Amino acid sequence: QERIHILIAFFDNIYISTPPVNHLKRQVMDRLKDQWKGIYSKPVPLKWLPDEEEAVLWAWNSLKSLQEERNAPGIGLSLNISTPGMSTWFTPLSHSERNLALRAAIDLWDDAPDTKRLFLLNLNKAWNQQKLRQSRTDKKALNTYLKNETKTRLDFMAERSGVRISDMLETLINDHYRKTCGGE
C-alpha cells in the first residue's frame, strides 16, 4: 500500500507543460497497470528460492553478473543490442530490498523469452546442486563390490526397514562398531 501511495505521489508531482496533463498521466498509469497485470498473471519464477539472505544474495549476484556480462562491450563489432538489465540500475541495501529487486528485475527482464527461461532453469539447477552439496558435507562416497547374494540381502534389509541402502549400511556398520569396539 505504501508503494502505491509513493507511485501516485510521484505521478502527481510530475510537471508537464503541455495540456492535457491529467490525460497523459492517466495513460502512463494505465499502461503501467496493464504491464503489471501481464506480469502478475504469469507463474512466480522464483517460487523455489527460499526467503533467506544467503539464497537471495546468491540469486541476485547470479542475475547481476549475467546482465553485466551481456551488456559488456564486446571485442569487434557486435549486433547484440539489448537494454541493460534491471539489476544494473540500482543497488539494494537490505535483504528485503534485494528480494524485491530480484523479483522485479526478473519480472521486468526485457530479453528473448528463451534467454530468461534458460537462466531460470540453470539457476534452479545450480541451487539444487548447491543444496545437495551442503547436505553431503559430512559424508564420504563409498564405492565397493559385493557378492550378488550379499547385495540382494542388503536390498531386502533396506526395503524391509523402509530406508535407503546407504542408511542401512550406515546402521549395520555403526551397530557392529558399538558391539565390537564398545564406543559411539
Q: What is the pLDDT of residues 6-59, one digit of tens each?
A: 877 887 777 777 667 677 777 888 888 888 888 777 777 898 999 899 999 999
pLDDT in tens, 66-107: 888 877 665 544 444 445 566 767 788 899 989 988 988 888
| Structure confidence at residue 164 (pLDDT) | 94
- How does pLDDT run across 98-151, given as a tens digit for each residue? 998 898 888 888 778 888 899 999 999 999 999 888 888 888 888 999 999 999
User: Rounded distance, CA 112 to CA 108, Å?
Assistant: 12
Q: Which three cell numbers stand for residue 135?
A: 547436505
Residues 98 and 61 sit within 8 Å (Cβ to Cβ):
no
pLDDT bucket at 5, cuts 50 / 70 / 90: confident
Whose cell is 557392529? That residue is 176
Burial (CB count within 10 angstroms: exposed 0-12, middle 13-18, buried 19+), residue 120: middle
Q: State the angle between helix axes of 113-135 and 53-71 in degrees (0 to 180), rounded to the nearest 10.
A: 140
Residue positions counted in the chain: 184
